Amino acid sequence: MNKIKELRIANGWTQDELGAKLCVKRAAISKYETGKIPLTDDTIGKLVKIFNKSADYILGIEDKTTTCIESNDIGVEDKLLKKLRNLDDESKKELEKYMDLLKLKQEIDKSKNETPSSLNQA
């Protein structure tokens, strides 16, 4: 069984909302989720972009071990992306500025922790 319903729910989307992203009706999403109609290559490609997951994962044919490793690696990033998707454009711009400031702070902190070798010899 494919993972479309699981991914849709994880993103907090209704069938109508996912349908709008794919340019199909809610009924088509329901049929995709239950496997009543096959997914076209074009639809799979769109789902890969929408969910940022591999086609194998979406189709439910990826190795379970790989899936467990993947979900552990991206847990925090997935949470952040879900929150980001719910922001309006203005908030996204503000967040981008804040992230730039965090990156700058990280670089400054890193440079403070790296003492020149000449100071270590004194």
∠ Cα 55 18 42 (to 5°): 40
86 and 57 within one domain: no
83 and 29 within one domain: no
Rounded to the nearest integer, the mean pLDDT of the chain is 84
Mark 64-95 as b/e (b = at least 16 C-beta within 10 Å): eeebeeeeeeeeeeeeeeeeeeeeeeeeeeee
Which one-letter amino acid corresponds to residue 9? I
Per-residue pLDDT tens digits for 6-45: 999 999 999 999 999 999 999 999 999 999 999 999 999 9
Domain that holds residue 25: 1-73
46 and 105 within one domain: no
53 and 106 within one domain: no
Q: Structural domain tally of the chain? A: 2
pTM of the model: 0.51
Residue 122 located in a structural domain: no
